Amino acid sequence: MGKYVGESIIRKDALEKVNGTATYAFDIDNIPNLLIGKFLTSPYAHAHIRSIDISKAEKINGVVAIVTGKDWPVRIGLYAGDRDILAVDKVVWAGQPVVAISAESYEIAEKALEQIQIEYEPLPAIIDPVKAKLSNDILVHEKLGEYEHSPAFNPIPGTNIANHFKLRKGNIEKGFKESDKIIENTFTMPQVAHAYLEPIVAIGHYKRDGKIEIWSSAQSPFTVRYLMGITFAIPTSNVTVHAPYLGGGFGGKAGLNYEPLAVLLSKNSNYRPVKLQLTREENFRSAPIRVGMVAKIKTGVKDNGRIIAEEIEYIWDSGACADYAVNVGRAGGYVSIGPYEIDNIKSDSYTLYTNKPYATAFRGFGHMELHWAIERQRDIIAKNLGMDPIALRKINTLKAGKSYTANQHRLRKDAGNVDECLEKVWNDLKTHFKGKIGDKPWLFRGIGVSCFMKGPAQPPNSASSAYVKFNEDGGIFVSVGTSEMGQGTITSLAQIAAEELSIPIEKVYIKGERDTDRDAYTWQTVGSRSLFMDGNAVRNACIDAKHQIFEIASQVLHTPPYDLVLENESIYPKGEPWKNLNLVDVIMGYMFTSGEAIGGPIMGHGTYIAKMTMLDAETGAGNPAIFETFGSQGVEVEINVLTGEIKIKRLISAFDIGKAINPQLCESQILGGSIMALSLGLNEKLQYDEKGHLLNPNFVDYVLTRADDLPDEFEFFLVENPQLDAPFGARGIGELTMLGVPAAIGNAIANAINVEIYDTPITSERIWYEIKKQRPELLKLKEEFLQED
* Model confidence pLDDT, tens digit, residues 248-286: 999 999 999 999 999 999 999 999 999 999 999 999 999
> What fold, for 31-123+200-248+253-285?
Aldehyde Oxidoreductase; domain 3 (3.90.1170)
| 435 to 113, 284, 744, 764: CA distances (angstroms) | 60, 42, 17, 21
Query: 191: closest CA among 293, 284, 82?
Result: 293
pLDDT bin (cut points 50, 70, 90) of residue 781 is: confident
d(CA 573, CA 647): 62
The full set of domain ranges for the chain reads 31-123+200-248+253-285, 290-458+614-783, 462-609
Is the sign of the CA dihedral 472, 478, 484, 489 positive or negative? negative
Decide if pLDDT at 437 tops 80. Answer: no
Q: Cβ–Cβ contacts within 10 Å for residue 96, how many?
A: 27
Cα 342 to its chain centre, rounded Å, is: 27
| The domains spanning 31-123+200-248+253-285 and 290-458+614-783 adopt the same CATH topology | no
- Give the pLDDT confidence score for residue 436 in this predicted structure: 74
- Give the pLDDT confidence score for residue 14 in this predicted structure: 93
Mean pLDDT, to the nearest integer, of 631-649? 96
Mean pLDDT, to the nearest integer, of 303-327? 96
d(CA 670, CA 664): 10
Decide if pLDDT at 405 tops 60. Answer: yes
Collapsing DSSP to helix, strand or coil, 121 comes out as strand
pLDDT bin (cut points 50, 70, 90) of residue 484 is: very high
d(CA 721, CA 718): 10
Classify residue 25 by burial, with Cβ atoms within 10 Å: 0-12, 13-18, 19+.
Answer: buried
Collapsing DSSP to helix, strand or coil, 755 comes out as coil
d(CA 430, CA 449): 11
d(CA 139, CA 157): 10
- Give the pLDDT confidence score for residue 786 in this predicted structure: 54
Q: What is the CATH number of domain 462-609?
A: 3.30.365.10
- Give the pLDDT confidence score for residue 784 in this predicted structure: 64
- Give the pLDDT confidence score for residue 1 in this predicted structure: 54
Mean pLDDT, to the nearest integer, of 405-415? 96
**List of residues 6+ apart from 624 with CB closer than 8 A:** 331, 334, 407, 409, 455, 457, 612, 613, 615
- Give the pLDDT confidence score for residue 49 in this predicted structure: 98
pLDDT bin (cut points 50, 70, 90) of residue 788 is: low
| 314 to 186, 257, 334, 348: CA distances (angstroms) | 10, 26, 11, 6
Cβ-count burial 393-415 (b if 16+ within 10 Å, e if not)? bbbbbbebeebebbbbbebeebb
pLDDT bin (cut points 50, 70, 90) of residue 720 is: very high
Collapsing DSSP to helix, strand or coil, 772 comes out as helix
- Give the pLDDT confidence score for residue 435 in this predicted structure: 81
Q: What is the pLDDT of residues 735-780, one digit of tens each?
A: 999 999 999 999 999 999 999 999 999 999 999 999 999 999 998 8
Mean pLDDT, to the nearest integer, of 665-685? 97
- Give the pLDDT confidence score for residue 785 in this predicted structure: 59
- Give the pLDDT confidence score for residue 2 in this predicted structure: 82
Mean pLDDT, to the nearest integer, of 14-41? 96
> What fold, for 290-458+614-783?
Aldehyde Oxidoreductase; domain 4 (3.30.365)
